[in-house]
Every structure is written in C-alpha cells, then in structure tokens.
Amino acid sequence: MNPVTRIAPSPTGYLHFGLARTALFCYLFAKKNSGSFILRIEDTDLERNRPEFEADIFEQFAWLGLNADKTFKQSEHRPRHTEVLTDLIARDLAYVSREPAKDDASKEVEVIRLRNSGQMITFTDLIRGDITFDTTELGDFVIARSMSEPLYHLAVVVDDHDEGVTHVIRGEDHVSNTQRHILLHQALGFEVPAYAHLPLILMPDKSKMSKRREGSSVRYYREQGILPHALINYVALLGWNPGTEQEIFTLQELIELFEISSIHKSGAVFDVEKLRWYNKQYLARLSDEEFAAYALPALRTALEKRGVDWNDSIALKTVPVLRERIAASGDIAPMAEEGEFDYFFKHPEPDSASIVQKKSTAADASRHLQKIHEVWSALAEESFADHDRLKESVWEYATSEGRGNVLWPLRYSLSGREKSPDPFMIASIIGKHASLERISNARQRLGL
C-alpha cells in the first residue's frame, strides 16, 4: 500500500518554521514511497482563525515547493463529525455529560465524553520504538463540546481515516495525544495508522521554538531574503542525517535519500548562521542577472529611504560587492542605514584629516593622489570597467611609495569611509569621471 501522509496546520498564525519541517518530512516520506501528501487546514477554532493566516499557509507551501496532492478544510467535515458522534452515543461508546463549566463553576455545560475502559496501549513509533500508556488516568475524556463542535482529538481521527492517511508524522509534543487517538480509532472500528513523532526544534538556549518568538515563521525568513531551496536544505538536516558528508541537496535528492529511520530522537538546535550559510551557497549559484533581480530591489528601497538618488547602471555594477558582503538580502538595509552604499551613488564628503594615512603627511597624500589622477586621466573610459586594469596601472607606484600610504588616501577619497571595498572596485563601479572628480575634491580639502 502506498503511504498517505498529511500536514494539518491551524490558521491561527503564520506558518511556523517547525511545522514546515514536519511538512517536509511528511512530503519526503510520501514521495520516497510513491505515496500522497495531503494538506488539511484545521480551521475549527473560530475565535482565532484568520483568513490572512490561511492564505499564508498556502502561499508558503507553494513557495517552498511542497505541493499537496489533495487539500481539505476541516470545517467542511462538520456533518461527518456529527454523524460519528451520533453513532458513538447510540452505541454507548460515548455519552453526553452535564457538568460545571471550567471557567465558571456556577454554570452548567454539556460535553460529550468517550467511555474509556482504562486499558494499556502500546504502539510502535517509527522513530522512538515501542511506547506504552496506561489510559486509566485519562478517564472518560471530552471529545466534543456539542454535537456540532468536535474537539481536536475526534476531528483529527475521523479526518485522517476518511482521507486515507496511513502515516501520521508529527512533533513529539503530540506523543501523549496518541493514546487518545488510538482509543478513538478502536471505538470507531478504524485501522490505526503508523505514528512517527519528530524531535522538536530548539533554540540555542535549548528552549522550544515558540510560535510567539520572532523568527519562528517561514514568512519571516522569506522576508529576510532566504531562498526556498536554502530553507528546505537546512530544514531537512534539522533532526535528520543522510549518513554522508554531503550538505547541499536538491529536493529530488532529498526524496531519494530520505529514510524515516534516520531521524534523530533528540531535539535539533536551530542555528540561524547555518541557515544563512546555506543561503549564501545558493546565492553563489545565481547568475549575475538573477542575483541582481534578487538583491537590487532591497538596495533601492534602502537607499531611497535615505534620500539617495538611484542609478540603474551603477546599481548593476554593485552586484559583485553585494555578492561578497551579504548572506541574504535582509542584510542590505542595516548596511545601507549606516551609509555603506551611499558612495556608489553620490560623492562623499571626506574629512581632510582622515584622508592622510597615520604614518604619512598631508603633502604626501596630496602627491599620491595627484599621481593617480594623472595615471587614470590617461586611461580610456573602458579601462575603468576592469578592476584589475586599474590596479595594475598604479600598483608599481604604490609598492615603491608604500601601499598603505598610497591606497589609503585613494580609497578614503573615493568612499569617504574608513571601511569600504578596495579603491579599484569602487572606481570600476563609479567610473572614470566620478573617480577623478573625487580625487580632485580630496586634494582640495587637503589645501595643497
């Protein structure tokens, strides 16, 4: 029998990072074994459900490439849940209980409880092995608030059965729920599916990755510029090991290699820097055109907030700099706020004292700048497109005079910053005219 797995998120928040990992493992297991992957929206919490959260679930799964073979909405199954409750009560396997309300003991409510014989239940977890529960301590547990309001335990069991789910892969925080679900399967005469409970994703302090914590949603990392393939690649290795040294995988490779028996039992610690490392690996695989389409919109937005005029031609030339400096497009805005890209698009206003190398003099700095101005004035405009050609043109002079003495005033004159890319990279981006103008401006500030 080909397996059927499912992921069943509630639209009460943006798609959680941990749920995305569970969905990935469900997807990999199903596809590895020529099965089906189901997405079911568990939308029965009317007070907390939000349409924007439901839309986000579909949007992020599509972005990740985890396309479901079938989709369902739990709210559409209410008539079926009522039918099951009616049957259970008719067979005296469940009953209506009148009891004090939990939030107000002076009020009486009606709930529906499953009759529990208090048996020992053992099931074989595909990750953790045999797990045994004594269900006596559960008592007759509540399965519905009313005939039209089933609780999670009943609804999920009925839906899994009706949708043909054969393997329930979920987080280890659901282990204790499994005893209830098996009791319901038995009462309803349903075949019990196989269960696998995944280790939780932990933060570096070993706390659980809470839904309320910033950086716990897929949307958050997508907005930070993490690519879908990078996220999938990193998530796959959170709690699972292919048994090789390989770190970069396509989705198809993950499908081929995935074995549920290779999932770890202990919690997996989330490392945002490792995720960023993966993203940088995937960014390196983009063509210049693809990288520009990825990074330049973020740069433009950041610079426009600072009132810096945009220039498409200059922006395209910054691609090599951005490739070197960022791990995700979300890195660009903080850098831009510090003025780290302004000098590509507008002339800096260098401080005269900072133009001079510490062990040099203003007269020497002016002399070095004058020499470079003469050399670069003789170069054709096309030469400025070649970073190495610019370097070669002054390297012998810089070596003879002391590279720091020559290159510091040049770089500072071009950027106006004490930390910036090398001067030849800057000159190749801003071009001949702007480079010469900035060198002249720096000499004027030195007053020599």
* CB of 116 closer than 8 Å to CB of 141: yes
**pLDDT tens per residue, range 233-292:** 999 999 998 888 899 999 999 999 999 999 999 888 999 999 999 999 999 999 999 999
Cα separation, 344 vs 339, in Å, equals: 10
> If phi over 0 gives left and psi between -120 and 50 gives alpha, with beta otherwise, what is residue 278?
alpha
Backbone angles phi, psi at 326, to 5 degrees: -115, 150
* CB of 93 closer than 8 Å to CB of 117: no
Per the listing, tokens 């292919």 go with 242
What was the pLDDT predicted at 9?
Answer: 95
Backbone angles phi, psi at 375, to 5 degrees: -65, -45
Per the listing, tokens 């005033």 go with 409
What was the pLDDT predicted at 214?
Answer: 62
What was the pLDDT predicted at 49?
Answer: 86
pLDDT under 70: residue ranges of the chain: 210-214
Degrees, nearest 5: CA angle 164-166-167: 135
* CB of 202 closer than 8 Å to CB of 267: yes
* CB of 44 closer than 8 Å to CB of 75: yes
* CB of 310 closer than 8 Å to CB of 276: no
What was the pLDDT predicted at 215?
Answer: 74
**pLDDT tens per residue, range 57-81:** 999 999 999 999 999 999 999 999 9
What was the pLDDT predicted at 211?
Answer: 61
Name 433's Cβ contacts closer than 8 Å, sequence gap at least 6. none
What was the pLDDT predicted at 359?
Answer: 83
Cα separation, 126 vs 61, in Å, equals: 25
Indicate the pairing of strand 194-198 with strand 201-202. Answer: unpaired
Is 0.75 surpassed by the pTM of this model? yes
